[in-house]
Structure 1
């Protein structure tokens, strides 16, 4: 049995990941974790909600039982309890300093929450972790945003997953729910690079390309081990 655990589901890449995972026959179940549930039903989808900073206190088995009123997930529960399953985690969790309200709250989401989820995934037998970072992520960066992303990457590396895929997309193209003025300006200025097909690592990339690349890498079991950093150009190559 193959299980995907998805966090950041309601975001730009998260929604594309959910779409890719639901239609992929390699995955038997997708467990989406978040602060709230999406208005979406699917036979393969299980949505769990709670405080993600306290995810280490979650009892996955009990939470699935609460959702499983008809007993359809008995096989899933037994596989999780026995460890007889492959668990791949996909994390596209992230925000902006403006939306978070402060640097401290931004770091709480983009670093502390990401590492809390990853530690919990590892504790329940997770084998692979695919994380959406950012172009320019560097724990020693003088740019706060890039520094936090880099520190999150460093923390993930310390968890020693069988496979850790760090995806560093450039400016993302897609239909966001909220308006971001800076990104809109950058999109107008940089989108011609997409049409001209130049500067692959810095030109904008579509949300679905990032999602497809993440799923593809996770399913390439045995081809990559340890830590792999995948930049925007490589993601585009994987999905064209």
Structure 2
């Protein structure tokens, strides 16, 4: 049995990733503050405060909505370490949306870290994280600095494989309007049409999602890999 754990499901990349995972894994366990308005026989949704995820009673939450007991086999496979488990996180926000730098850091760093540690405790051997182009813990830009810090901290969790995906400007359907990104998209989108500067030109959300799953399914162990935006575009073909 192979199982995918995912956080950040309601985001632009997260929704694309969820659909990819449902096609490739036996079960997908999505965690977040609230459940999505989506039903699928392979999808299990757990809701709660991600900062407290390590104290969640996940075993009971997992089977709470099952009437015929079909999810008990999933629970037992995890408990008995008979499942191959991969963790995926596309969790992220903006300082404007979060309301402050402190709240932004809490979401983009602390929640991602808690989720990763929880995934490891369940037996996840691989973890794949959607970071950002320019991630650097020593950056003077707070956003890039935070992304760089979470990349560094994820290395300490001890996964057999850690994939750090650094997409450039994302194209897709966002739930909220971001003026700066809209302007940048208009300026940069011709690079997509021209097929040049792969690491700089915008990348579609579905391309990132496809690359995540393709790397997760590859036979990779005992390594940390940074996947650039250009590499993601190649992987998604």
Structure 2 partner of 1:126: 124
- Whether the aligned pair in 2 keeps the contact of 1:160 and 1:226 (CA below 8 Å) is no
- Whether the aligned pair in 2 keeps the contact of 1:128 and 1:218 (CA below 8 Å) is yes
The TM-score with structure 1 as length reference comes to 0.97
Structure 1 partner of 2:50: 52
CA distance in 2, matches of 1:187, 1:225: 37
Q: Secondary structure at the match of 2:176?
A: coil
Q: Secondary structure at the match of 2:22?
A: helix
Structure 2 partner of 1:226: 223
CA distance in 2, matches of 1:236, 1:225: 24
Question: What 5-or-longer segments of structure 2 have no aligned partner?
Answer: none
Q: Secondary structure at the match of 1:116?
A: helix
Structure 1 partner of 2:14: 14
Shift of 1:224: 4.8
Which range moves more in the overlay, 57-66 or 128-137?
Answer: 57-66
Counterparts of 1:54-133 in structure 2, within 5 Å, are 54-133=52-131
Question: What 5-or-longer segments of structure 1 have no aligned partner?
Answer: none
- Whether the aligned pair in 2 keeps the contact of 1:30 and 1:44 (CA below 8 Å) is yes
Structure 1 partner of 2:214: 216
Cα RMSD after superposing both structures:
0.8
Question: Is structure 2 residue 182 aligned with structure 1 residue 184?
Answer: yes
The TM-score with structure 2 as length reference comes to 0.98
Q: What do residues 211-240 of structure 1 show as CA deviations (whole Å, max 9, x unaligned)?
A: 00000000002x453100000000011112
Question: Is structure 2 residue 221 aligned with structure 1 residue 236?
Answer: no
Shift of 1:61: 1.2
Question: Is structure 2 residue 164 aligned with structure 1 residue 163?
Answer: no
CA distance in 2, matches of 1:57, 1:185: 42
Question: Is structure 2 residue 45 aligned with structure 1 residue 42?
Answer: no
Q: What do residues 84-125 of structure 1 show as CA deviations (whole Å, max 9, x unaligned)?
A: 111101100000000000000000000011001001111111
CA distance in 2, matches of 1:111, 1:183: 22
How many residues align? The count is 237
CA distance in 2, matches of 1:79, 1:8: 24
Shift of 1:69: 2.5
Q: Secondary structure at the match of 2:164?
A: strand
